[in-house]
Amino acid sequence: MPNSIEITDLQKRLGHFVLSIDHLQVPTGFITGFIGENGAGKTTTIKLILDMLRPNRGQIQVLGRDAQKDGSLAKADIGYVGDDAGYWASMRLRTIANITAPFFPRWDWALFDKLLSRFRLDPKAKYISLSKGMKKQFELVIALCHHPKLVILDEPTANLDPLVRRDILDLLLEMMEKEEVTVFFSTHITSDLDHAADYIVFLHQGKMLLFGDKDTIIEGHRVVKGPASLLSPGSEDKFISIQKNSFGFEALTDDPQWALDTFGKEAIYERPDIEQIFIGYTRKEDR
Amino acid sequence: MQNIIRLIKADATKIMSVSIIYQLFPIVAVIVAFFAPQAMPLVLVLMVYLLGYGLLSYDENYHTQNYYAFLPIRRSEYVIGKYAFSLVLLVGSIVVCFALSFLGGMMMDADRISNQQLPSLYALSFILTALYLAIQYPFTMFLGGVKGRIVALVFYMAVFSFAFSGDILFIVLGWLQNSSLFLLLVAALALYFISCIVALNIYEKRDIA
């Protein structure tokens, strides 16, 4: 099955910041988590995919179409929740939907009403009167009501309380189960992706550090903990990142077998979470 | 074409929700049209600036561009939609205000523009507004909402307000009545379309968010 998003040799300069992605594929039918610290370039990448920004170089294919030349045709199948929806603040929710619906051939009013009801949003309420979490919920409703094939979310759960975050993630997972939807989800809250994501992409200072199947990446890494006496200059260099203190060391390796062969039962080996892997790779990059 | 019509409807809906001033100004325009039509060139330019150009500027300043970027529309459709909305607004306003000015001329004594001068007056209004927008839109597409608004203010206050105060209006109207009004209208419309092409080229290349 072709990928929903394919990025090749992408470069975008914004002032002193340079985004540079050699190759990125977002597989169809899965949730891909796009992780990076603040300012890593996640929003820039997403805006390039949606043709809000023009690249200096490179090619982006979205649902089989060139994002710059035919991106508008692809957008009928894309749902997007960004950092700022751009809705008119004093407009009622129903009016926003009335303006939006004609642009999407597959707009589903029954689904719109159902999702508004689920989130307890009043269609007569003005957008400006909603709380931050309610705004995000409404933006997600608008993004999903035309049965998109690809949902792109740019930090949709940032600054939201755990209950609202859970609601949003649960809805996404339900949509995935009912329809073949691809989700591309950028965040710096890695815990949101620990149980939801199928694939993960790490972005740091405009560069892609890692991409792959989440479970494979996690299984392919270990956090190794032990006394400092276990370390030698040769072994330190083999770690992706290492932290030492008076008690010992904690390091990340992408070769669990090597670590086991080298340190044996003297060290402790733990399966890392996404955050630990991400921090490890960014520390390696910053050295 | 369908998307352009949808965008025009979206802008018309926006006017009702953006600010009370946007809703009051048409009322002011019809009152001026009835009682003091000689002010219509300035009023129409200002009204179309507020309602047409103002919405473009609003899009730039309040990140409404993010909303349009999510819609399945081409960049060209967005630009053409803005130009089309302003033109529809202008032509519609002229039709309504002309009728009211004519009615006012029949009902009131004349220390005001005569009904014979109304076609020239409204032709002048169309020409000025079309020229104003033809200059303003590409500037805003290029500079963004904040800087574009400063340019808009300079053009409006310094050029049109000064040029058409006092007796200058009647001199210009007299000249228009002796000229080929149709050709001047066509020229203004042609400049408006050329401006649209320039704006399209600017908008195609720029980052919009």
- CATH code, domain carrying A141: 3.40.50.300
- Please list every residue in chain A whose beta carbon sits closer than 8 Å to the beta carbon of residue B62: 86, 88-89
Place of tokens 């809906």: B13
Q: Which residues contact A178 (CB under 8 A, 6 or more apart)?
A: none
Specify if A283 maps to a domain.
no
Tell me if A279 is assigned to some domain.
no
Tokens of residue A26, six digits: 């977002």
Residues A190 and A169 in one domain: yes
Q: Determine whether the interchain pair B67/A86 forms a contact, defined as Cβ–Cβ distance below 8 Å.
A: yes
Q: Which residues of B touch A50 (CB under 8 A)?
A: 69-70
Total domains in the fold of chain A: 2
User: Does some domain include residue A94?
Assistant: yes
Is residue A284 pLDDT above 90, yes or no?
no
Say if A196 is an interface residue toward chain B (CB within 8 Å). Answer: no
pLDDT at residue A217 greater than cutoff 90: yes
State the pairing for strand pair A150-154/A78-81: parallel
Beta carbons of B17 and A90 less than 8 Å apart: yes
Tell whether A188 and A241 lie within a shared domain.
no
Q: Domain limits of chain B?
A: 2-204
Task: Find out whether A202 and A33 touch, Cβ atoms under 8 Å.
Answer: no
Using an 8 Å Cβ cutoff, are A31 and A172 in contact?
A: yes
Domain that holds residue A23: 5-217
Closest CB to A50: pick one of B62, B69, B74: B69
CA B36 to chain centre: 19
**A vs B: CB pairs below 8 A:** 82
Shared-domain flag, residues A69 and A169: yes
To the nearest whole Å, the CA of A210 is away from the closest chain B CA by 27
User: Using an 8 Å Cβ cutoff, are B43 and B29 in contact?
Assistant: yes
Per residue in A142-177, pLDDT tens? 999 999 999 999 988 877 888 888 888 888 888 877
User: What's the mean pLDDT in A254-268?
Assistant: 92
B62 Cβ under 8 Å from any chain A Cβ: yes
Contact A97, A112 (CB under 8 A): yes
Same domain, A200 and A246: no
Mean pLDDT for A57-78 is 92
C-alpha B125/C-alpha B164 separation (Å) is 11
On whether any CB of chain B is under 8 Å from the CB of A51, the answer is yes
The interface predicted TM-score (ipTM) is: 0.84
Position B65 scores a pLDDT of 82
Question: Lowest mean pLDDT: which of A226-230, A234-238, B114-118, B162-166?
Answer: B162-166
Q: Which residues contact B43 (CB under 8 A, 6 or more apart)?
A: B28, B29, B32, B33
The answer to whether residue A285 is domain-embedded is no
* Same domain, residue pair A169 and A244: no
Residue A37 pLDDT: 87
Pair (A259, A174) in one structural domain: no
Domain-embedded: residue A255: yes
Secondary structure of B88-146 as H, E, C letters: HHHHHHHHHHHHHHHHHHHHCCCCCCCHHHHHHHHHHHHHHHHHHHHHHHHHHHHHCHH
A212 & A173 share domain: yes
From the first residue on, what is the mean pLDDT of each consecutive set of 10 residues in chain B (209 residues)?
Answer: 92 79 81 85 79 74 83 93 90 90 80 78 86 85 78 70 63 71 88 94 87
Measured between CB atoms, does B66 come within 8 Å of chain A?
yes
Q: Does B63 contact A at CB distance below 8 Å? A: yes
Q: Which residue has the higher pLDDT, A67 or B179?
A: A67
Contact A36, A202 (CB under 8 A): yes
Do residues A150 and A182 lie in contact, with contact meaning Cβ atoms separated by under 8 Å? yes
pLDDT score recorded for residue B161: 63
pLDDT given at position B110: 61
Q: Sheet harboring A182-187: ordered strands across?
A: A65-66, A57-62, A5-14, A17-26, A207-213, A199-204, A31-36, A182-187, A150-154, A78-81
Residue A282 lies in a domain: no
Identify the pLDDT of residue A188: 80
Domain-embedded: residue A238: yes
| Each residue's pLDDT tens digit, A95-138 | 999 999 999 999 999 999 999 999 999 999 999 999 988 999 99
Portion of chain A with pLDDT greater than 90, in percent:
63
Same domain, A238 and A209: no
Confidence of residue A92 (pLDDT cuts 50, 70, 90): very high
Task: Specify whether A162 is located in the same domain as A244.
Answer: no
